[in-house]
Amino acid sequence: MNPIIIIPARLGSTRLPNKPLADIAGQPMIVRVWRQAAKAKLGPVVVAASEEEIARVVSDAGGKAVLTDPALASGSDRVQAALRMIDEKGAYDCVINLQGDLPALDPELLKKVAAVLSSSGADIATLAAEIREPRDADNPNVVKAVVAWKDAHQGRALYFTRARAPAGEGPLFHHVGIYAYTRPALAKFVSLPPSPLENREKLEQLRALEAGMHIAVALADAVPLSVDAPDDLEKARAAIR
């Protein structure tokens, strides 16, 4: 496959305003994420920015950014809009949607999600890591992936939920929100209206499952630190220091 990595970014975070521009050891967070993604050497890395301020810091750091409509509803919509602008001829057939709030991202995760998309023949691929902390099992902010594991490394997503699932004895898996789409799957996904389960769980990926799309899951060793709130930002700064 011929991948492209697109990082959607906007300033309007409610819990951490101006999050992409937050300073982490002398660099804006979005620049750190862009640089980590580039280390994967999978293909071009582009930031889909909703504001000029984000595009400017990426460009100043030597990266590529495109401006997308601030009114777009989701990161997936922003990724699709950016893809249409920069690749009208359809050269890239694997589109990786990378969150812009993973400043300590391991580039190997991007390689893993691209590889499982290619090997599985799925519409979409994502990642999950085994939950090690007992308190995370019942934490609604820790999204669980219910997976039919084909082997020790990959499987097929059956469901995603904020509840503890599945029931009974056995491991639980924390969903890692990095996605790889085939190009037709991304176009189909953003064309679909929000689904009932998506609205109920507040999980966008359920829209794809309700539409019958195949989501492959690769097993990750750990969950990368996601910066969603001020205390996460301090953790990221400490970790990178």
Percent of the chain with pLDDT over 70: 100
* Mean pLDDT in residue range 174-179: 97
Taking CB atoms within 8 Å and a gap of at least 24, the contacts of 107-110 are 107/36, 107/37, 107/39, 107/40, 107/41, 108/40, 109/176, 109/178, 109/220, 109/224, 110/5, 110/37, 110/40, 110/42, 110/178
* Mean pLDDT in residue range 30-46: 97
Percent of the chain with pLDDT over 90: 93
Query: In which residue are the tokens 């990786």 written?
Result: 96
* Mean pLDDT in residue range 137-154: 96
Instruction: Check pLDDT > 90 for residue 195.
Output: yes
Say which residues have a Cβ less than 8 Å from residue 165's Cβ, sequence separation at least 6.
144, 146, 159, 172
**What's 228's DSSP letter?**
-
Instruction: Check pLDDT > 90 for residue 87.
Output: yes
Per-residue confidence (pLDDT) for residue 114, from 0 to 100: 98
pTM of this structure: 0.95
Domains of the chain in sequence order: 1-105 (3.90.550.10), 108-223 (3.90.550.10)
Instruction: Check pLDDT > 90 for residue 207.
Output: yes
Per-residue confidence (pLDDT) for residue 15, from 0 to 100: 80
